[in-house]
Amino acid sequence: MAKQVISFHYRLTDSKGKEVDSSLDSEPLAFLEGSGQIIPGLEGTLLTLGIGDKKTVTVPYKDAYGAYDQSLIVQVPRDKFPAQEVKVGDMFQVQNGDHPQVVMVVEIKDGNVTIDANHPLAGQDLTFDVEITARRDATADEILHGHAHGPHGHHHH
């Protein structure tokens, strides 16, 4: 079967049942099958659904954002820290090799800033309430570009 472009509404809750993200106040999310835009544990289920189908999908952390890694918590001397103002809960984007990575300040103590580079949802089993709003074969251009095109996908200007 041709690669699919699927649009869906979702509501994401973490392992404590707290809502983390939702598309319900905006447009559905469109993605191209196999483009890596959707976590693998969710994409596999979405591909089995048809237009109008609703489903609750629980994705174990290993198929979502991975295990929580204690070694990603590091201390940086305050004077080596780039920002002027730092407080607990601040998020910063840093360069990790070729990849931008978001880190969060978790503690400031004795001249050191402790940062946590885990994904905020690392170690969490995630629950998605999804509803498929559209589904079609991908166009040749979309497959070439590696992403879905409008109305809810990527727009070229």
Tokens representing 44 are 């596999």
Tokens of 18: 């707290």
Closest CA to 143 of 157, 132, 154: 154
CB closer to Zn ion out of 35 and 58: 35
Residue 11 interacts with Zn ion (CB under 5 A)? no
CA 135/CA 116 separation, integer angstroms:
38
The residue number with the shortest CB distance to Zn ion is: 145
Q: Is beta strand 4-13 parallel, antiparallel or unpaired with respect to 126-137?
A: antiparallel
- Which one, 16 or 157, has the nearer CB to Zn ion? 157
Q: How far is the CB of 144 from Zn ion (least distance, A)?
A: 8
When the beta carbons of 112 and 139 are compared against Zn ion, the nearer one is 139
**Smaller CB distance to Zn ion: residue 35 or 112?**
35
Sheet hosting strand 112-116, strand order edge to edge: 73-77, 112-116, 99-109, 91-96
What is the 8-class DSSP label of residue 46? H
- In angstroms, what is the minimal distance from the CB of 43 to Zn ion? 19
For residue 146, the minimal CB distance to Zn ion (Å) is: 8
What contacts 134, CB < 8 A, 6 or more positions away? Answer: 5, 6, 7, 28, 30, 51
x/- mask, Zn ion, residues 14-53, rule CB under 5 A, reads ----------------------------------------
Rule CB under 5 A: which of 91-150 touch Zn ion?
A: 145
Tell me, by CB under 5 A, how many residues bind Zn ion.
1
Give me the least distance between CB of 145 and Zn ion, in Å please. 3
Site residues, Zn ion (CB under 5 A): 145
